[in-house]
Amino acid sequence: MYKFYFLISLCFSNPIWATQYQSPNDFVNDAFSGKPPTPQSLWVTPALKETVANILQHKPGFMRTRYWQADNKTVWILKEIGKTQLITVGIIIQDNKIQNIKVLDFKESRGWEVKHSFFTDQFKSITMNPDLSLSQRIDGISGATLSVHALTKTAKLALFFNQQINQ
Amino acid sequence: MSHFSRAFSKLLYKGHRHIGFAISLVLILLSLTGIALNHTSELQLDQRYIKSPFILDWYGIASSKNPKSYAIQTHWLSQLEGTLYLNNKAILKAKEPLIGAISMTDFIVAAFPNTLLLLTPEGELIESISKANIEKIALQKNLIFIQNQQQIYFSSDQLLSWQKTEQPPDAWALPSLLPSAMTEELKQKSRERILDYERLTLDIHSGRFFGAWGVYLMDVSAILLIFLAITGVWFWLRHSIKRINKKNR
C-alpha cells in the first residue's frame, strides 16, 4: 500500500533536475503532421489490470490512459518510474509495430542516456510476442539499467494497449 | 625497549581498551543505522512516517496551517502540507498548490497550476492530465471549465478534449472553510506525515537527532574509531614481529 501511495505521489513531485525534452502535445502534433485526431481513452478494467501489473511489475497508478488514433497509427503518452521518479515516454505505433519511441520528460538524476536515438532506435519495428515479450532483445546501457527497464516496460505497455483497442 | 617506549605502549594499550569500551554503544548505533540506511528501499524507510508525539515534539513539528479546502457535493477535498485529502482520508501527495475542485456523479477533478487530476468518488486516481498555467476551474451544466492564461476552455468528455469559449461560467470553484473538527483531524494527520523513518535514521546516524552536541559526539567517535583502528593494527604488528623474532631465536 505504501509503495502504491509512493508511486502515485511521484506524479506530482518535480526535482530540480527534471528536464522536459518535448511536450506531450507537441509529440502528438508531430506524430500526425500537425493534425492530431481527438484523443480517446482506454480504461484499465479489472480484466486488463493484472496484465498491466505484470508488464509494469507493480500495480498501475492509473485507471485510464488516453491515446490518439488515425488509420493504422496510434500514439501513446505513458509514464513509468525509473528509480524514484517518473519518465514520460511518447510512443508511436504503426501497423502494430513501434515506429518511434521518445523520452519526453525525464525527472531521474541518472540514466538520461536512454533519451538518445542510439538507444531508442532499437525499438523501431518491434512487435509484441503472444507471451507479452518484445520481438527483439533490447541492449541495456551501463549505469542506466532502471531507465532502460522503464522504457522497455512502456514499449510493452503501448503494444499491449494497441492490441486491446484493435481487438 | 626503553622505559619511555614501554610506558607509551602501555598507555596506548590502556587507551585502546578504554576508548573501545567507551564508544562501543556509539559504534553499535552507527552500525545499525548504517545497515538500515543501506536498505532504505527494502525497509520502505522513506515511505513510513513517525507518529510518536514525543519524537515529533522533539523535532518541533507542529502543523499550524489550516488546510485549503473545497466543498464538492457532500465531500471535502483539502490540501495540507503537500498531501491531498478526500474528507479525512489522505489520497495522494501533491506538491503543487490546489487551486480548485469540482465533482460530478462519477468523478472528482482536482485542479493544480499545471495538472488536473481525475479521481474516482473514492479518491482513486483515474488519470493525471498535464495542462499548463491553469488558474481556475468550474462546473456548469455538466461542462468542466478552466481558465488558462486569460483563455477559457471547456470539456464535455471527461477531460479528454478542450474547446475554447468566450463565455465564462457563472461561478468558479472557490475554497471554503472546512468544519473545525475535520480541520483538527487533518492537522493531526498532516503532522504525522512529515517526518519519515529515513530522516530519523539519518539524523541518528549523523548525531543531529541529539542536537549540535550530537554531531560533535559523532565526530569525536569517528576520530576515536580511527585511533582504535591504528592502535589495533599497531598492536597486532608488534605482536606478530615479536612472535617471529622468538621463533628465529
- Minimum-distance CB partner of A12 among B48, B115, B126: B115
pTM score? 0.71
Q: How far is A13 from chain B (nearest CA, A)?
A: 6
Closest CA to A76 of A106, A44, A102: A102
Per-residue confidence (pLDDT) for residue B61, from 0 to 100 = 85
Per-residue confidence (pLDDT) for residue A66, from 0 to 100 = 93
DSSP lists the bridge partners of residue B163 as: B154
- Please give the Cα distance from B104 to B91 (Å, whole number): 18
- Minimum-distance CB partner of A2 among B44, B92, B124: B44
CB of B145 closer than 8 Å to CB of B153: yes
Per-residue confidence (pLDDT) for residue A19, from 0 to 100 = 73
Domains and CATH numbers, chain B: 3-48+196-248 (no CATH), 68-191 (2.130.10.10)
DSSP lists the bridge partners of residue A93 as: A74, A98
pLDDT tens per residue across all 249 residues of chain B = 577 778 888 888 888 899 989 889 889 999 999 999 999 888 889 889 998 989 998 888 876 688 999 999 889 999 998 899 999 999 988 889 999 999 988 899 999 999 999 999 999 999 998 888 899 999 999 899 999 888 999 999 989 989 999 999 999 999 999 999 999 999 888 888 889 999 999 999 999 998 889 999 999 999 999 999 999 998 899 889 888 888 887
ipTM of the modeled complex: 0.76
A102-134 residue pLDDT tens: 999 888 778 888 888 999 999 999 999 999 999
| Per-residue confidence band for A11, with pLDDT thresholds at 50, 70 and 90 | very low
Q: How far is B238 from chain A (nearest CA, A)?
A: 45
Cα pseudo-dihedral B158, B164, B169, B172, rounded to 10: 70
| Per-residue confidence band for A16, with pLDDT thresholds at 50, 70 and 90 | very low
